[in-house]
Amino acid sequence: MRVAVLGAGSWGTVFAKVLADSGNDVELWARRDSVARAIEHRRRNDDYLPGIALPDEIEATSSLPRALRGAEIVFLSVPSQSLRGLLRDVGPVLPPGAIVVSLMKGVEDGTGLRMSAVIREVLALPDDRVAVVSGPNLALEIAREEPTAAVIASSDVDTAMRVAAVCANRYFGTFVNSDVIGTEFGGVLKNLIALAVGIVVGVGYGDNTKASILTRGLAEMSAFAAAFGAQPDTLAGLAGMGDLIATSESPRSRNNRAGRLLGQGYTKDDVLRTMDQVAEGLASLEPVLALAAEKGIEMPICTQVSRVIAGTLHPRDIAPHVTAGPVPVGE
């Protein structure tokens, strides 16, 4: 099958490799021409995946019309806050009937929309042409072909199964469900809990504190997602617990790294300057808290992270509050 991946950061590039290793012809779009040329001519993307050789089945370009030409499935892997702008350019050249798949884990600032909702709104697509991918998928480990699995979700199960079949190979397993809401919110919310875990690691707290945050964090994630219509079991699976463990525990996780820097006393601006890629948790935290407030959902861990970022709570003081319900007033 001919497929396109839009976005040549670490995850987009790795997913292009997954698709190529699954037997597809892949066109990878990079915003910067220098990145596209390096992939096309050297089979490398050293800006994001140093030392990883890419399959010959991947072609790269900085031209959207070329990338999308003849694509039956289009995978999107760009920072969540830049998705809407990209989709405005995609719309006029999207092949008729193409399925559009989100690889992103974020919530749009200002609208509170999940990525699949942004896709449907901007491209005016029916539900059966939209799917999402989520799971414990750290890019570098997959690039090294270390086995993992992911959930492919679409409200149309046939669409989910079609996308899952295109992605599956010997090191990348796929499972399907129809719970798009739970699958997407699992990917979004685990980034916020990973920030909290990173903060306490940066402070110097140990495994008991991390385990408390992970356990209470999963409960926080589940309550939030259920309030928006997710199926409870989804958050106990790959797109919830699985992704939470991988993102919170791995030093390769951007959100874990951002949290550790916050725990060490860096400001949010310092962290953003230090990071070479977007930590989606930093972008999604306030939109998620706004959604929670609309539903009257208490999110003590996420609220504590927000206060650390705002400078109204010292990082070392986050831990005593993560297991008790409402956020304390004052310092």
Rounded to whole angstroms, the Cα distance separating 185 from 204 reads: 29
Look-up: residue for tokens 């993102």?
A: 247
Catalytic entry in 105, 190, 210, 268: 190
Question: Would you give the DSSP letter of residue 328?
Answer: P
Give every CB contact of residue 293 below 8 A, 6+ residues apart in sequence: none
Active-site residue flag, 17: no
Rounded to whole angstroms, the Cα distance separating 14 from 143 reads: 6
> Ramachandran region of residue 164, left (φ > 0), alpha (ψ -120 to 50) or beta?
alpha
Q: What is the DSSP string of 4-21?
A: EEE--SHHHHHHHHHHHH
What does each C-alpha distance from 259 to 91, 114, 179, 193, 316 come to in angstroms? Answer: 36, 23, 29, 9, 12
Rounded to whole angstroms, the Cα distance separating 298 from 6 reads: 36
Q: Among residues 183, 198, 186, which one has the least CA distance to residue 255?
A: 198
Rounded to whole angstroms, the Cα distance separating 112 from 109 reads: 6
Question: Would you give the DSSP letter of residue 74?
Answer: E
| Inter-axis angle of helices 280-295 and 300-310, nearest 10 | 130
- The count of C-alpha atoms lying within 13 angstroms of the C-alpha of 253, restricted to the half-sphere facing its C-beta, is 27
Rounded to whole angstroms, the Cα distance separating 21 from 193 reads: 32
**C-alpha 160, offset from chain centre:** 18
- Residues involved in catalysis: 190
